[in-house]
């Protein structure tokens, strides 16, 4: 039940719209029965999400192998999965299919397991192609990271041969997959590089216009492969390859994508670019005016964190716009294929390992992430029998705003997550990466309940109780507050006894970056099982 709270002594109108969502078992085809959805350990109940894709059991992390098969009209999404336990390990691939990105059918067993000599320590992240290795329709192809030695971590010396690139092909619409006899197709990183990591293949189209004297290794509109990692002591980066579209086994190394240095932090709008990258995606976006920008979306490791943030893993989910360099002489080693342009934070929460694909149905890039559960104590996570979920789908666009003169609080010149193009007379055209929920998520909505003109009272009066009772909801709220208001917000009670609350608090006149606070409070302790 939502509770509205406002400023001291204030009685200010507000609008609240709640999208209550009714569960439809036909929408979430991979959901378990009610008995399976809830696991009881004495007095403690652990619920599985209904709208997010989860593994049938055990540990789940990175989404991988994303794509659309035009022959069947099905979307494919795989995920790193440990079907044997609820901790990281025994990394296999789970497999799900969907007609609409909302309702998923998930196979009860992995589609790929670490069973070959070259991938005996794990099937790590990879990508999807809706054809065989020769580009011919009628089959599906996975290109994945095959791991033969552990541990792997950017802080450890890299052992050449621990990671390689391999291919598996399905000729029955993804039900079964066969590895190539020629695996691994790439056994190791380029021999002259001291890397921190070299994994998570992604295939995209290189759109940069090259100079007249370029060596034509990467001509415009050529198929390119991207492997994430870093160069030790120098920079996080992406290793770029030219890929033969008629034989996906042929990858030719071109050079590193960027050289930004270690822990490059342009500003708080861009975050810390760390020392090693994972699951980097290359996306090319065009706005309604025909302007095109090249972006990468990367999971960033090795971020320098504040004392307040040290309890979490030092990583972030960021994005960066890059400008391809014109020509690269053959006689000189390539320092970087692109230059940094501007960058931003892709997700401010717990989403990581973002992975994307081009959706020909909507002509958009669609992104899925791994929602981590690092804030959940291991004891509770083990008892619930599963860990990690796949995010809801997001779509990408190039956002363009014209005739911008200033920001509300900061200097426009200080914001590093935008491109600023001067128009003259003091105004600018602003461009940045736009991220929004995929429009097909509207299918999950039930009938909306709207409550308007609700008076806000101070917390001493316990706020206003709104007659909305639901476990699945989407909220759109508008608050009108006075100039002297210091705090406004909304709370959600998770049980009738009010033993736990979550909510949003807003400081409307606070100019710092901490003006918004999401919180979860448990007012009574969780019973422990004996």
Cα(300)–Cα(278) distance, integer angstroms = 6
Whether residues 468 and 364 share a domain: the answer is no
DSSP letters for 207-243: -PPPPTT---SS-TTEEEEEEEEEETTTEEEEEEEEE
Confidence label for 21 from pLDDT (cuts 50, 70 and 90): very low
> What pLDDT shows up at residue 474?
78
pLDDT greater than 60 at residue 271: yes
Cα(430)–Cα(422) distance, integer angstroms = 9
> What pLDDT shows up at residue 67?
98
C-alpha of 512 from chain center = 26
What mean pLDDT is predicted for residues 108-118? 98
Whether residues 110 and 140 share a domain: the answer is yes
pLDDT greater than 70 at residue 218: no
Sorted by sequence, the CB contacts under 8 Å of residue 353 that are 6+ apart come out as 61, 62, 63, 125, 278, 279, 299, 317, 369, 370
> What pLDDT shows up at residue 16?
41
Whether residues 476 and 375 share a domain: the answer is no
> What pLDDT shows up at residue 220?
66
> What pLDDT shows up at residue 1?
53
Confidence label for 17 from pLDDT (cuts 50, 70 and 90): very low
Asked whether residue 26 is assigned to any structural domain, the reply reads no
- The answer to which of 29-38, 206-215, 251-260, 264-273 has the lowest mean pLDDT is 29-38
Instruction: Summarize pLDDT for 147-170 with one digit per residue, the tens.
Output: 999 999 999 999 999 999 999 999
Confidence label for 332 from pLDDT (cuts 50, 70 and 90): low
> What pLDDT shows up at residue 3?
52
Cα(212)–Cα(366) distance, integer angstroms = 34
Whether residues 271 and 161 share a domain: the answer is yes
Task: Tell me which residue of 63, 62, 33 sits closest to 48, measured CA to CA.
Answer: 33
Tell me which residue has tokens 């990467």: 218
Asked whether residue 432 is assigned to any structural domain, the reply reads no
* Residues facing 142 on adjacent strands: 128, 168
Q: Which of 377, 403, 429 is the last residue of a domain?
A: 403
Whether residues 100 and 17 share a domain: the answer is no
Tell me which residue has tokens 């999208």: 19
C-alpha distances in angstroms, 123 versus 11, 93, 360?
58, 7, 28
pLDDT greater than 60 at residue 528: no
Instruction: Summarize pLDDT for 30-76 with one digit per residue, the tens.
Output: 333 333 333 344 333 456 888 899 999 999 999 999 999 999 999 99
| Greatest Cα-to-Cα distance within the chain, rounded to the nearest angstrom | 75
Percent of the chain with pLDDT strictly greater than 70: 80
Cα(91)–Cα(108) distance, integer angstroms = 15
- The answer to which of 135-139, 238-242, 376-380, 465-469 has the lowest mean pLDDT is 465-469
Confidence label for 197 from pLDDT (cuts 50, 70 and 90): very high
> What pLDDT shows up at residue 380?
86
- 151: exposed, middle or buried (C-beta count within 10 Å: 0-12, 13-18, 19+)? exposed
Instruction: Summarize pLDDT for 471-494 with one digit per residue, the tens.
Output: 777 777 788 877 778 788 888 887
Pairing of β 222-231 and β 235-243: antiparallel
DSSP letters for 41-52: ETTEEEEPPSSS
Confidence label for 211 from pLDDT (cuts 50, 70 and 90): very low
pLDDT greater than 90 at residue 232: yes
Whether residues 320 and 219 share a domain: the answer is yes
Instruction: Summarize pLDDT for 348-393 with one digit per residue, the tens.
Output: 989 999 999 999 999 999 999 999 988 888 888 888 889 999 999 9
Asked whether residue 427 is assigned to any structural domain, the reply reads no
CATH of the domain at 224: 2.115.10.20
Q: Which of 403, 423, 455 is the last residue of a domain?
A: 403
Cα(394)–Cα(270) distance, integer angstroms = 20
Q: Which of 334, 368, 403 is the last residue of a domain?
A: 403
- The answer to which of 101-115, 122-136, 143-157, 454-468 has the lowest mean pLDDT is 454-468
* Residues facing 238 on adjacent strands: 228
> What pLDDT shows up at residue 455?
76
Cα(111)–Cα(508) distance, integer angstroms = 50
Domains contained in the chain, number: 2
> What pLDDT shows up at residue 318?
99
Whether residues 381 and 502 share a domain: the answer is no
The pLDDT mean for the chain works out to 85
Asked whether residue 437 is assigned to any structural domain, the reply reads no
Cβ 477 vs Cβ 15: under 8 Å: yes
Asked whether residue 273 is assigned to any structural domain, the reply reads yes
Asked whether residue 441 is assigned to any structural domain, the reply reads no
- The pTM for the full model equals 0.86
Instruction: Summarize pLDDT for 513-527 with one digit per residue, the tens.
Output: 446 677 767 665 544
Percent of the chain with pLDDT strictly greater than 90: 62
Asked whether residue 434 is assigned to any structural domain, the reply reads no
Whether residues 283 and 395 share a domain: the answer is yes
Confidence label for 247 from pLDDT (cuts 50, 70 and 90): very high
Instruction: Summarize pLDDT for 395-448 with one digit per residue, the tens.
Output: 999 999 999 999 877 899 999 999 999 998 889 999 999 999 999 998 888 777
> What pLDDT shows up at residue 12?
36
Instruction: Summarize pLDDT for 300-313 with one digit per residue, the tens.
Output: 999 998 766 556 77
Whether residues 16 and 59 share a domain: the answer is no
Q: Look up the domain containing 371 and give its range.
A: 34-403
Asked whether residue 27 is assigned to any structural domain, the reply reads no
> What pLDDT shows up at residue 290?
95
Whether residues 389 and 480 share a domain: the answer is no
């Amino acid at each position: 039940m939502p509770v509205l709270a406002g400023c001291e002594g204030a009685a200010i109108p507000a609008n609240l719209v709640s999208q209550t969502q009714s569960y439809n078992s036909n929408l979430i085809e991979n959901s378990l029965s009610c008995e399976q959805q809830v696991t009881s350990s004495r007095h403690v109940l652990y619920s599985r999400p209904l709208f997010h894709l989860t593994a049938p059991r055990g540990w789940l992390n990175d989404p991988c192998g994303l794509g659309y098969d035009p022959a069947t009209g099905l979307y494919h999404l795989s995920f790193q999965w440990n079907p044997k336990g609820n901790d990281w390990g025994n990394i296999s691939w789970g497999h799900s299919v969907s007609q609409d990105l909302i309702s998923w059918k998930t196979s009860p067993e992995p589609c790929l397991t670490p069973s070959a000599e070259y991938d005996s320590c794990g099937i790590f992240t990879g990508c999807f192609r809706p054809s065989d290795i020769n580009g011919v329709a009628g089959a599906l192809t996975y290109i994945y990271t095959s791991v033969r030695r552990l541990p792997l971590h950017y802080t450890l010396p890299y052992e050449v041969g621990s990671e390689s690139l391999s291919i598996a092909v399905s000729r029955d619409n993804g039900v079964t997959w066969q590895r190539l006899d020629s695996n691994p197709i790439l056994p190791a990183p380029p021999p002259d590089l001291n890397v921190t990591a070299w994994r998570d293949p992604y295939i995209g189209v290189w759109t940069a216009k090259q100079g007249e004297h370029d060596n034509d290794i990467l001509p415009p509109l050529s198929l390119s492969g991207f492997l994430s990692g870093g160069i030790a002591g120098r920079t996080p980066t992406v290793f770029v390859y030219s890929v033969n579209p008629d034989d996906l086994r042929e990858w030719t190394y071109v050079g590193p994508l960027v050289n930004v240095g270690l822990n490059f932090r342009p500003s708080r709008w861009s975050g810390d670019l760390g020392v090693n990258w994972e699951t980097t995606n290359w996306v090319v976006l065009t706005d309604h005016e025909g302007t095109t920008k090249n972006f990468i979306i990367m999971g960033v490791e090795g971020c320098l964190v504040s004392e307040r943030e040290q309890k979490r893993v030092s990583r972030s989910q960021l994005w960066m716009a890059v400008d391809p360099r014109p020509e690269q002489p053959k006689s000189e080693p390539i320092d970087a294929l692109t230059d940094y342009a501007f960058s931003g934070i892709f997700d401010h929460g717990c989403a990581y390992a973002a992975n994307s694909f081009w959706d020909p149905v909507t002509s958009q890039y669609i992104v899925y992430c791994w929602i981590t559960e690092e804030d959940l104590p291991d004891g509770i996570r083990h008892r619930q029998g599963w860990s990690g979920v796949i995010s809801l789908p997001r779509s990408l666009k190039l956002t363009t705003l014209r005739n911008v003169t200033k920001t509300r609080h900061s200097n426009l010149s200080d914001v590093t997550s935008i491109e600023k193009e001067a128009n003259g007379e003091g105004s600018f055209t602003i461009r940045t990466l736009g991220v929004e929920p995929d429009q097909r998520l509207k299918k999950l909505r039930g009938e909306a309940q709207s409550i308007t003109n609700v008076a806000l009272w101070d917390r001493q009066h316990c706020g206003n109780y709104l007659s909305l009772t639901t476990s699945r909801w989407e909220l759109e709220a508008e608050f009108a507050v006075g100039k002297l208001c210091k705090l406004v917000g909304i709370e959600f009670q998770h049980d009738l006894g009010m033993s736990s609350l979550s909510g949003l608090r807003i400081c409307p006149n606070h100019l710092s970056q901490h003006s918004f606070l999401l919180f979860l409070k448990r007012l009574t302790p969780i019973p422990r099982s004996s």
